[in-house]
Amino acid sequence: MTDVLRRGRASLAFSFFAQGATFALLVTRIPGIQDRYGVSDALLPLFLAAVPILAGVGSVSTEQLVKRIRPSRLLRWSQPVVLLALLGAGAGGRIAELAVALGAFGLAVGALDASMNMLGVSLQRSYGRSIMLSFHAAYSLGGILGASLAWVGAHWHLALWVSYLPVVVVLLPATLVGSRWYVDGEPGAVAAGQEQGAGGAGVVFKLLLPLCLVMTFAYIGDSTVSNWSAKYLKDVLGSSEQLATVPYNVYMVTTLLGRAIGDFGVRRFGAVAVVRLGTLVAAAGFAVVASAPGAWVGMLGFTLLGLGLCVLVPQTFAAAGRLFPGASDAAVARLNIFNYVGFLVGSPLVGALGEAWSYRGAMLVPMVLVLVTLVYARSFAVGTGRYGGGHERPRTADVGRGSNGL
């Protein structure tokens, strides 16, 4: 069984990596997509908002589908749809074709995100120790690769389909082959001595709500960086246009680094301590950005943001699985919706505050929202499922006797 878990972990990590690259290729080439289809500035926000809205629909649908279809099967077939939708967005010529491609992308990515994290939560339960951050580290690595490939395509003025086709040709068969080793958990089975969430095996939304708020605020912070870091550095801190492209790359790299070592912190100190530290570091990052006298100090702030925010989302998914061990798939699907809520709210919120007030002041709003996580930090230590520092569970039969794990 140990080899089964190892293969399952490796194949799922590759799925996270592929999705990180795919999503980055889409969002970093938005200007190119706009030019290709002649989408006006007034119409573009509608297209962009439609993707997370439809992704939320896909996540809600996944909660119902996993009652009849295993998450591994949903992931196996939703990932190719996402990849083909990306290619479709780059290969079409009419706005109607773009709308169909982005619609398919949104619906499929909701199912993909939910099912990936369902499998991650169940694998972590089988391992009996924190491994969730490693999956999201793979996503960050894929995002860095995707953004780099997008930069190459834009630099060499390649057509969108030329940029997208090699990626799809490589990733689509690779993910299909890797999907043979996905490992489904048994969300209905609760470890001996482990308490159910209130309400038995079902998901009680009142108990899940604190984690939903944390997820929303984390993605408000993340979308603030992805959408406003370049403009903030150039227009507020007076950097060059070239230097203004650096903060997001720095943010992605520090996100990768933080997630790569985060599981060790959770095992050693527990999830609550790691979440509290991440929250404080992220808040400090926003404070530095808001008060920065120049571009280099501003980049220090975005570096801190990457190190702080990177732990919140993976640990929120993991906490949902521990809170409802008998209904972790449903909890993850519902929680995943608030990923898209934060993404939808974050960018317009900062933009509106920046125009009405100031962009420095606007950076303080996500800082305050992220700090709310401290109020709910105890939600990350539900039941006996905490990991690290005396909380790690003994190896179970699923992991295998004498195994040193992965």
Tell me which residue of 277, 356, 306 sits closest to 140, measured CA to CA: 306
pLDDT for res 383? 57
Helix (H) or strand (E) holding 75: helix 71-91
d(CA 226, CA 234) in angstroms, rounded, equals 14
Provide the CATH number for the domain formed by 1-185 in this structure.
1.20.1250.20
**Domain coordinates of the chain in residue numbers?**
1-185, 188-392
CA nearest neighbour of 296 among 246, 367, 252:
246
What's the rounded mean pLDDT across residues 287-296? 95
For 93, what's the count of Cα atoms within 13 Å in the CB-facing half-sphere? 0
Nearest-10 Cα torsion for 5, 187, 59, 344: -80
**Does the pLDDT of residue 154 top 90, yes or no?**
no
What is the DSSP code (8-state) at residue 192? T
Residues constituting the chain: 406
Q: Name the least confident of 56-65, 66-75, 248-257.
A: 248-257
CA atoms within 13 A on the CB side of 330: 17
What average pLDDT score do residues 30-54 get?
88
Check if CATH label 1.20.1250.20 holds for domain 188-392.
yes
193 CB-near residues (< 8 Å, 6+ apart): 384
Question: pLDDT grade, residue 218 (50/70/90)?
Answer: very high
Q: What confidence category does residue 18 fall into, taking pLDDT thresholds of 50, 70 and 90?
A: very high
pLDDT band at 226 (very low <50, low <70, confident <90, very high): confident
pLDDT at 388 over 50: no
CA 350 from centre of chain: 20
pLDDT given at position 14 = 98
Cβ atoms of 333 and 66 closer than 8 Å: yes
